[in-house]
Amino acid sequence: MKKYLMTFLFALIIGFFLSNFFINQYKDYEGIKVSGTGEELFFIQYGVFSSNESMEDNTISLQNYVYNVEDNLYYVYIGITRLEENANKIVEYYKTLGYETVIKKFNISNESFLEFLKNCDNILSSTQDNTAISSIINQTLMKYEEVVINGSQN
């Protein structure tokens, strides 16, 4: 009996150390995303404001924008696109209007919006006309507000 007990304890100790070794190998491993319908989009950020009043006062001159409240701060976005080239085009468009912007990336999974944005990006990629760029930006922001923020299915 003592012979089996020692073998059992020895196997248990070896198992413990091997399991710790393998677990520690993956301690900092982030993993690989294998599914999900989300897509990383480029959001053109206009600014961050400490209150709703401050945000409204500083966005009077904008035609359209969407905002997100996080940690009691109001993040204002004035453009959304799937393509980095289009994000840079939007930044340049706003720079000609005198606005300083920053590009941020967020993952969005609303299929309806992603399909709409794909079509808008195709048009935006092929134009240099500021009127067309402005129109596409506004349509994109309105659609984002409609289907992502407000949750409409149409």
* Contact between 103 and 87 (Cβ < 8 Å): yes
Residue with tokens 């067309």: 132
Structure confidence by residue, pLDDT tens digits, 14-26: 888 877 777 777 6
Q: How far is CA 50 from CA 67, 104, 116, in A?
A: 12, 19, 32
- Homologous superfamily, domain 39-149: Sporulation related repeat (3.30.70.1070)
* Contact between 148 and 110 (Cβ < 8 Å): yes
Structure confidence by residue, pLDDT tens digits, 80-119: 999 999 999 999 999 999 999 999 999 998 889 999 999 9
Element (H, E) at 23: helix 2-25
Contacts 24+ apart (CB under 8 A), 149-154: 149/66, 153/112
Structure tokens at 143: 């659609």
Q: At what angle do helices 84-96 and 130-144 cross, to 10 degrees?
A: 110
pLDDT beyond 80 at 35: no
Query: What pLDDT score was predicted for residue 79?
Result: 96
- pLDDT, greater one: 1 or 65: 65
Write down the domain spans for the chain: 39-149
In three-state secondary structure terms, 97 is coil
Element (H, E) at 41: strand 39-49
* Helix, strand, coil percentages for the chain (3-state, nearest 5): 50, 20, 30
The band of 150, judged by pLDDT with boundaries at 50, 70 and 90, is confident
The rounded distance, in Å, linking the Cα atoms of 107 and 93 is 24
